Structure 1
């Protein structure tokens, strides 16, 4: 198994037309979850990936499993929970450049995920374990699980990747949320925050301070995503570098771009590419993702990625 990731995936209801939800009556059903997005992105590039989670033993939960399995991800470790529902969220598209999201995930099956649900023999097969900052904010048991997984990765020589992936609505309900994320970040080999996320975590917008604060503990590589500008990265003992983003004509849906970026970085590292090459691939996939509707629909297969990277034009049209 090349990559194993775990966390909550919800059913997404995306409005067909634009406007406030009170005036919208048609929706497209899909799935959305940061960790499963990454899993699908890496799988589409030809790697073996497993996603670990809990969903409700209901029709929505079975739909989530079916959809993710259909994208080439192993779902054999997903638990069907009889006592809690599958989470869901609704998107609201008020204009082309502005979306709102409404979550209905409190008490979901995934929030009940704990150490006892993990098959450690399965986890030991992984070359990379990837987690995000969403999971530790779902519940105390999920937070304990994140620590256990990162400790397991270190003990077994498995590369650990962490994307803070801040969700302010979750943080508002967890008084020690920032401390939780910083504690987990220090246990990962690679940390990939957005610049705004790093600014929130460290109360500074200075890149040098961000790198200094993140390159501690076990962490030897840091990538700081800087929106449409590109991404800064630094490896232990080296100077910081910058990779510009790939410009696009029009952003259709920004949701999932960071997950696509992470998938590109992790797949590239599996293939022995340098961090600079990995970040470059991440920016390319991020560009492809924002041009498509949905959380994971724009994640490219290998041929699509290669066609984009070899395109003569510097703008995706």
Structure 2
């Protein structure tokens, strides 16, 4: 199964504030916020939702096709992605703009405040998914991740026209979408990904009730942080998968993207959704324990042990054969 991953490529500037944002906010002054947080750590890392998801799929030997826009500074990042199993032949490289920047500060409660600079991502609407499919072969699934909104709508429309299943993952861009755009991005998706906050925002943006939205997608997957993940379908009870616990959290950035990599890999291997979600949770916890979204290592024995300890021996043994070829 070939997965095309669309969305952002970015450089992440990750800072840590040794306090709580909530303690610095005055309820009566929220309309006039003027704050700065003195960070005591800074890490500059590779990131972007499409690149992060494609990286995870590459480590799992899925040969993902990255469809995104990058900047004039992309050469080293390109080499890194290719070395980790990502096909970057469909990346548009700008001749004048730099790769997008994600600047994020995390407090001691793992709350985050972030700013995203689009940079070369503004050229993403110039990417023709149909032309890429004609050149490289039609993918079996297109994940439409956070990107320039025009590009997201364009990729969704093209995938539906070509009969390619869509995984809708609007995430950070939901706040920029109007009702028609939000509906177009999720309507007809085989998979819909959100976190808990985005789930509520999506209902507000689309104007749809939860059951109506579920009737228009295949499975709605909502990541719930330490509470794990829920998988909802209109025709079945909601399935809840607990997170794999850890006491070694280093940085939450990229955990959701890693979950998507693991889940989509499981579906590519025709696993049941519960089993795919368990692998996704294992990858998410692995990323939580490292700083940066692409700095982790996939060690099959470690993933199997985590799954065994959280979901039981049978779950671990079911996953083990497919991970045998991952190194």
Task: Confirm whether residue 126 of structure 1 aligns to residue 139 of structure 2.
Answer: yes
| Cα distance change on mapping 1:245 and 1:27 into 2, 3 Å | closer
Instruction: Measure the CA separation in 1 of the matches of 2:187 and 2:136.
Output: 20
SS in 1 for 2:236: coil
Instruction: Measure the CA separation in 2 of the matches of 1:15 and 1:201.
Output: 28
Deviations 1:99-133 (A, max 9, x none): 4333232xx2222122554312246432221112x
Provide the residue aligned with 1:37 in structure 2. 52
Over aligned residue pairs, what C-alpha RMSD do you find? 3.0
Task: Confirm whether residue 294 of structure 1 aligns to residue 309 of structure 2.
Answer: no
When structure 1 is superposed on structure 2, of 86-95 and 275-284 the one drifting more is: 86-95
SS in 2 for 1:82: coil
Shift, 1:275, TM fit: 1.0
Gaps of 5+ in 2: 20-34, 313-327
| Cα distance change on mapping 1:116 and 1:102 into 2, 3 Å | closer
Shift, 1:31, TM fit: 1.0
Shift, 1:221, TM fit: 1.6
Deviations 1:196-251 (A, max 9, x none): 211112149xxxx53x133233x222222222112221335222221111121142
Task: Confirm whether residue 112 of structure 1 aligns to residue 123 of structure 2.
Answer: yes
SS in 2 for 1:239: strand
Provide the residue aligned with 1:166 in structure 2. 172
How many residues end up aligned between the 2 structures? 293
| Cα distance change on mapping 1:99 and 1:183 into 2, 3 Å | same
TM-score normalised by structure 2 residue count: 0.78
Instruction: Measure the CA separation in 1 of the matches of 2:78 and 2:36.
Output: 27
Pairwise mapping of residues 92-241 of structure 1 onto structure 2 (< 5 A)?
92-95=105-108, 97-105=110-118, 108-114=119-125, 116-118=127-129, 119-122=132-135, 124-132=137-145, 134-135=146-147, 138-140=148-150, 142-152=151-161, 155-156=162-163, 158-167=164-173, 171=175, 174=176, 176-203=177-204, 210=210, 212-217=211-216, 219-241=217-239
Instruction: Measure the CA separation in 1 of the matches of 2:292 and 2:101.
Output: 14
Instruction: Measure the CA separation in 2 of the matches of 1:35 and 1:248.
Output: 26
Task: Confirm whether residue 267 of structure 1 aligns to residue 295 of structure 2.
Answer: no
- Partner of residue 310 from structure 1, selected from 308, 311, 316: 308
Instruction: Measure the CA separation in 1 of the matches of 2:109 and 2:303.
Output: 25
Task: Confirm whether residue 11 of structure 1 aligns to residue 11 of structure 2.
Answer: yes
| Cα distance change on mapping 1:221 and 1:123 into 2, 3 Å | farther
Shift, 1:53, TM fit: 1.6
Deviations 1:248-268 (A, max 9, x none): 114221111111111111100
Provide the residue aligned with 1:47 in structure 2. 62
Provide the residue aligned with 2:324 in structure 1. none
Shift, 1:97, TM fit: 3.0
SS in 1 for 2:278: helix
Shift, 1:190, TM fit: 0.9
Instruction: Measure the CA separation in 2 of the matches of 1:247 and 1:231.
Output: 13
Instruction: Measure the CA separation in 1 of the matches of 2:274 and 2:108.
Output: 35
When structure 1 is superposed on structure 2, of 226-235 and 71-80 the one drifting more is: 226-235
Gaps of 5+ in 1: none
Which one has a larger percent helix, Structure 1 or Structure 2?
2
Task: Confirm whether residue 88 of structure 1 aligns to residue 101 of structure 2.
Answer: yes
Kept in 2, the 8 Å contact 1:245–1:283? The answer is: yes
